[in-house]
Structure 1
């Protein structure tokens, strides 16, 4: 059974609206640009590599490109609704269930101590530092709630001109806390929680007063949330990755909106479908970050 359509870029249909009618991801390869592709790669070998990954997780891959196609024309708030609904759909599917079943482990995790975010105010600027270095600053439920509380302070206090996020430890964040994935009682409740308790919505609303400094690994929500801010600075040795496909999921912290708004839906699709890292220099060239600083 086919799981993707592959075209040389010169042979890709050009009719307006053609892509929205396709029920498989569309991969184009070669030089140039093309509206009617979900992802563009350099050559046929790269296209076949993407196709092979799609074949492993065809449901998540299809949902990803459908959401990116739709969200290209939607305001951020509505795009986040679409992303969350799609994410919940996949949480109820077999690809995510297979990943969860493979996660049986006896590994012990260090206990977290202290505040999930360290807050420091200096005049009109407040700094919020992710403070779970022993967990590589994975964004757990307490961390998400701390994000929201800091943003609510910014929203309520007009004397604050900037809320700046950075992180303690070796990296900014490796993304969502995997032990919590699928811990909601059901996919509908999970969608409700993502809607009502969404850092992405608040960052987008307050984006002109929010900035981030990223370093080390910036994975999943560790890059999805910063993408909504007006200013993102990264250390020159940072790297960025969206690994959700291999969990049978799509980005669920706003990546199909915030990242796509910065780098376009085709590059966003490439990051998810390939699962590959990009370095800080590529992130700057694409517009995922605004400045590099050591």
Structure 2
């Protein structure tokens, strides 16, 4: 059940958007008579319940879909209200921006949250993981095709700094060489990627410096320049930064056992490897926020239904 404090009509929210102090606003679309063309939105996420075809549906930041726990989403936003508000505001902006501009806006937002009390508390409470060997990105050219493979299977292909640098270099090569007509991204082992290497979180403590490093080295910045030639083959878990990067591909295939997740809100941050941009273009801002607020694993079949992947295969090539 949703807290009564979070429930509000669209008209009431429009009148009080600037003074709304709850971590979410819940609008029952089935109780609304029609659209509110001049609707104002508060800083926090506006979550709709009811039919997405309602005239007000497109104004919601997200709509709770079947099999998603709306109460759990509002609880997550209540635990991390700053991150939830920040990502909602960012996703509202992205449709008006190019992908490159969107990556810059995402990096600004991510840098701000890196310096937040909530993210610092998450880092302090996280146990120190056992050290693992550095990752590697295997790059191989076969004729006019470039194969880019995440090669750190012992760590679930968690992307560390050497892998980020390798991915940036591989996509920069593809961007600069028009004779490369196909770029294939895949993972070595039974996991596509568990996302960013958590042991590296907090190693750059100045958010402004972190933003400038991302601006120069983020693999997504080069991936968008060759996205029309990029394919991704997913097998197993596709989480966080791994999903964010794969979602730039013009075509994604996934094995039937694959699953997809954006867990960043629980860390007090938002997807910062390009995912707010890439997933918004793939599945829209409402479903992107649905994944972020819920933190829920999305099965391969649902990913196909949403358009997050383009085809299911028996095994990743």
Query: Normalising by the residue count of structure 2, what TM-score does the alignment of the two structures yield?
Result: 0.87
Give matches, 1:55-134, under 5 Å: 55-105=78-128, 107-112=129-134, 116-134=136-154
Which stretch shows the higher mean deviation, 235-244 or 69-78? 69-78
1:263-294 Cα distance to aligned partner (Å, 9 max, x none): 01110001000000101111111111111112
Q: Distance in 1 between matches of 2:298 and 2:65?
A: 16
The alpha carbon displacement at 1:60 in A equals: 0.5
Q: Distance in 2 between matches of 1:122 and 1:26?
A: 48
Using a 3 Å threshold, how does the CA distance of structure 1 residues 122 and 273 change in structure 2: closer, same or farther?
same
Q: Residue 2 of structure 1: SS of its match in structure 2?
A: coil
Q: Distance in 1 between matches of 2:100 and 2:25?
A: 31
Q: Distance in 1 between matches of 2:205 and 2:76?
A: 30
Contact 1:6 1:47 in 2 (8 A): no
Q: Does 1:18 align with 2:39?
A: yes
Contact 1:28 1:47 in 2 (8 A): no
Give matches, 1:42-61, under 5 Å: 42=65, 46-61=69-84
Q: Distance in 2 between matches of 1:53 and 1:110?
A: 31
Q: Residue 172 of structure 2: SS of its match in structure 1?
A: helix
The alpha carbon displacement at 1:151 in A equals: 1.3
Give matches, 1:161-240, under 5 Å: 161-240=181-260
Contact 2:196 2:241 in 1 (8 A): yes
Query: Normalising by the residue count of structure 1, what TM-score does the alignment of the two structures yield?
Result: 0.93
Q: Does 1:287 align with 2:310?
A: no
Q: Distance in 2 between matches of 1:38 and 1:158?
A: 39
**Structure 2: gaps (5+ residues):** 1-20
Using a 3 Å threshold, how does the CA distance of structure 1 residues 143 and 85 change in structure 2: closer, same or farther?
same
Q: Distance in 1 between matches of 2:43 and 2:141?
A: 51
1:170-194 Cα distance to aligned partner (Å, 9 max, x none): 1010001111112114100111111
1:238-282 Cα distance to aligned partner (Å, 9 max, x none): 000000000000000111111011101110001000000101111
Aligned to 1:250: 270
1:193-237 Cα distance to aligned partner (Å, 9 max, x none): 111112112111111111110110000011101111111111111
Q: Distance in 2 between matches of 1:95 and 1:156?
A: 40
CA RMSD of superposed structures (Å): 1.8
Q: Distance in 1 between matches of 2:47 and 2:175?
A: 42
Q: Distance in 1 between matches of 2:38 and 2:70?
A: 22
The alpha carbon displacement at 1:42 in A equals: 4.3
**Structure 1: gaps (5+ residues):** none
Q: Distance in 1 between matches of 2:210 and 2:229?
A: 29
Out of 269, 272, 277, which is 2:289 matched to?
269
Q: Residue 264 of structure 1: SS of its match in structure 2?
A: helix
The alpha carbon displacement at 1:109 in A equals: 2.3
Using a 3 Å threshold, how does the CA distance of structure 1 residues 110 and 198 change in structure 2: closer, same or farther?
closer
Which stretch shows the higher mean deviation, 179-188 or 151-160? 151-160
Using a 3 Å threshold, how does the CA distance of structure 1 residues 42 and 218 change in structure 2: closer, same or farther?
closer
Contact 2:247 2:308 in 1 (8 A): yes
Q: Residue 252 of structure 2: SS of its match in structure 1?
A: strand
